[in-house]
Amino acid sequence: MPYKVGLYTLVLFVSWWNHALPQSSPLPTPPTYSRALETALRAELFDGSNYSTLQRPDKKVDVRLSLTLLTVNELNIKDQVLSISGYLSVTWRDDRLSWKDTTSTSQDYSSINFLFSTEERVWTPAIIVENSVEDISVISDSKIPMRITWDGIIHWNPTGIYKVFCESDITYYPLDTQTCSIKISTWGYTQGEIQLQLNNQKTFDTSFYNENGEWDLYSATGIKSSDRSRGGESYSSLTFTLTLRRKPEFHIINTIFPMILMAFLIPMVYKLPPESGEKMGYCLTVLLAYAVYLSLISDNIPSTSKNICYLSVYLCLTLAYSTISVTIVSCILNAYAQGEKKVTGSINSICCCIRSKRVADKNHVTYYGDHRRMRIEEFPPDYDSETNVISYREYSKILDKIFFVVYIVIITITTAVFLILLLIHFYSIEEKSS
């Protein structure tokens, strides 16, 4: 019973206390959105507050950027120019355009979440593409709307086709990989006035990327690069880097495969009989074909000495082999023209040793059970070191056989080394990307 009396007394006291306190009036409901309300807000923000687009929002403005890549239009390694389509996502805070605090405005605008404006009426950071090769100017587009949120955050997405310098690495052309950068820097405002930062969510967005027919996109990253110094002042800078690898199928079929086939045509000149009369013509045809091919390759790569193109080295070596073969074929044809004239001296001895392979297998022992049988080969009666000499015509045919083997070996080794270098680089990039 005392417990119930105490509880009843507590309830009466709380009720009396609530009635004794002064009753506050309920908060007014903010007006609903209307065009008139937005017009009033615009007039208050831009006209009534003496807002100036020449005054930055704060002593130091933090500007966050990210780059969205839409497509790689072209990568011209000869002119060393990369062309891409995309847009920048630029975000900063301007407290002068905030209506979050209702006490600082003439009325409650909380029903308006955001406004749209253009750079003609809003202060915008002056930024440039530092390594642009075309239209080096401050990024600007008065037709693109800016989204201004209720807390003064401004979102701006200027679009563009950016053409930038890209230093080409032609070492492994045509199975090459190129790394290009888009360098963004402030202009006019020093790093103490504008500080560029990367967007924490996505520094380099490739969600909307459309593939290029010639290049595969392997990586896209953004970093805060070292500040740029101009006129004794430091300027904030960001760097967006793309790694592109050339698609191999087209160049394997149209460049590498025909080039290797042409290389193995060079030894075939030594299989043509001298009496056919086509030996020298064939040799010169292969030489000229390689000279034309080398000029075509040179037209597609930059005239730079920073990197040596393995393909050009391979073509130069093959061209040198073909040039030397012209000299060798001339000597062979000259020897063949001597007819049955005998070769004398050490050349004759060497040729006789090459021709007579039976010398190394002169004594041959065969076992038949417990018995041995020895077969002794003797030189033919006409084989005499003094009388057995070869003619120049035979000498030319021996040279054909020797240089055919030599050229097959040399070209096979050269081609194998060239292909191994290209394939090691190609698959090493593939492993890094995976």
CATH code for position 336: 1.20.58.390
Of 185, 218, 247, the domain-final residue: 247
Say yes or no: 218 and 304 in one domain.
no
Scanning 216-309, the segments in alpha helix (DSSP H) are 249-251, 257-263, 279-299
Q: Is residue 372 part of a domain?
A: no
Q: Is residue 49 part of a domain?
A: yes
DSSP codes, 158-190: -EEEEEEE-----TTTTS-EEEEEEEEEESSS-
Q: Is residue 397 part of a domain?
A: yes
Residue 102: what pLDDT?
81
Q: Is residue 9 part of a domain?
A: no
The span from the CA of 342 to the CA of 361, in Å, is 27
Token code pair at residue 382: 């006409």
Of 198, 217, 247, the domain-final residue: 247
Residue 291: what pLDDT?
86
Q: Is residue 357 part of a domain?
A: no
Say yes or no: 176 and 91 in one domain.
yes
Residue 360: what pLDDT?
46
Say yes or no: 215 and 71 in one domain.
yes
How confident is the model over 280-323, as pLDDT tens digits? 999 999 999 888 888 888 887 777 767 888 998 998 999 999 99
Say yes or no: 165 and 282 in one domain.
no
Residue 13: what pLDDT?
55
Q: What is the 3-state secondary structure (H, E, C) of 92-118?
A: EECHHHCCCCHHHCCCCCCCCCEEEEC
On the question of pLDDT at 220 being above 60, the answer is yes
Residue 347: what pLDDT?
56
Mean pLDDT computed over every residue of the chain: 83
Residue 24: what pLDDT?
45
Banded pLDDT at 386 (limits 50, 70, 90): very low
> Residue 143: left (phi > 0), alpha (psi -120 to 50), or beta?
alpha
Q: Is residue 233 part of a domain?
A: yes
Residues 6 or more apart from 380 whose CB is under 8 A from it?
none
Backbone angles phi, psi at 153, to 5 degrees: -85, 130
Say yes or no: 96 and 125 in one domain.
yes
On the question of pLDDT at 383 being above 50, the answer is no
- The β-bridge relationship of strands 204-205 and 61-76 is parallel
Banded pLDDT at 257 (limits 50, 70, 90): very high
Distances (CA, A) of 240 to 67, 164, 198: 8, 12, 10
On the question of pLDDT at 366 being above 70, the answer is no
How confident is the model over 399-412, as pLDDT tens digits? 899 999 999 999 99
Banded pLDDT at 340 (limits 50, 70, 90): confident
Residue 361: what pLDDT?
46
**Which residues are bridge partners to 217 per DSSP?**
244
- 241 versus 135: the higher-pLDDT residue is 241
On the question of pLDDT at 390 being above 60, the answer is yes
The span from the CA of 334 to the CA of 340, in Å, is 13
Q: Is residue 386 part of a domain?
A: no
Token code pair at residue 417: 């080394």
Query: SS3 breakdown of the chain: % helix, strand, coil, rounded to 5?
Result: 40, 25, 35
* Total Cβ atoms within 10 A of residue 87: 20
On the question of pLDDT at 111 being above 50, the answer is yes
On the question of pLDDT at 421 being above 50, the answer is yes
Of 217, 247, 277, the domain-final residue: 247
Distances (CA, A) of 43 to 99, 104, 119, 248: 12, 14, 17, 60
Residue 269: what pLDDT?
92
Residue 308: what pLDDT?
86
- 405 versus 346: the higher-pLDDT residue is 405
Task: Select, from the ranges 32-46, 88-102, 326-340, 404-418, the one with the highest average predicted confidence (pLDDT).
Answer: 404-418
Say yes or no: 174 and 322 in one domain.
no
Say yes or no: 152 and 91 in one domain.
yes
| Number of domains present in the structure of the chain | 2
Say yes or no: 162 and 296 in one domain.
no
Say yes or no: 126 and 267 in one domain.
no
Token code pair at residue 173: 């052309």
The span from the CA of 222 to the CA of 88, in Å, is 12
Say yes or no: 324 and 255 in one domain.
yes
- For residues 3-30, give the mean pLDDT: 51
The span from the CA of 243 to the CA of 253, in Å, is 24
Say yes or no: 305 and 190 in one domain.
no
Residue 149: what pLDDT?
94
Among residues of the chain, what percentage have pLDDT more than 70? 80
Range of the domain at 297: 251-341+391-433
Give the three-class secondary structure for 368.
strand
Q: Is the peptide bond before 28 cis (omega within 30 degrees of 0)?
A: no
On the question of pLDDT at 353 being above 90, the answer is no
Say yes or no: 174 and 257 in one domain.
no
- For residues 243-252, give the mean pLDDT: 92
Residue 299: what pLDDT?
82
Run of H or E residues at 397: helix 392-433
Q: Is residue 272 part of a domain?
A: yes
Burial-class residue 127 by CB neighbours within 10 Å (0-12, 13-18, 19+).
buried
Banded pLDDT at 21 (limits 50, 70, 90): very low
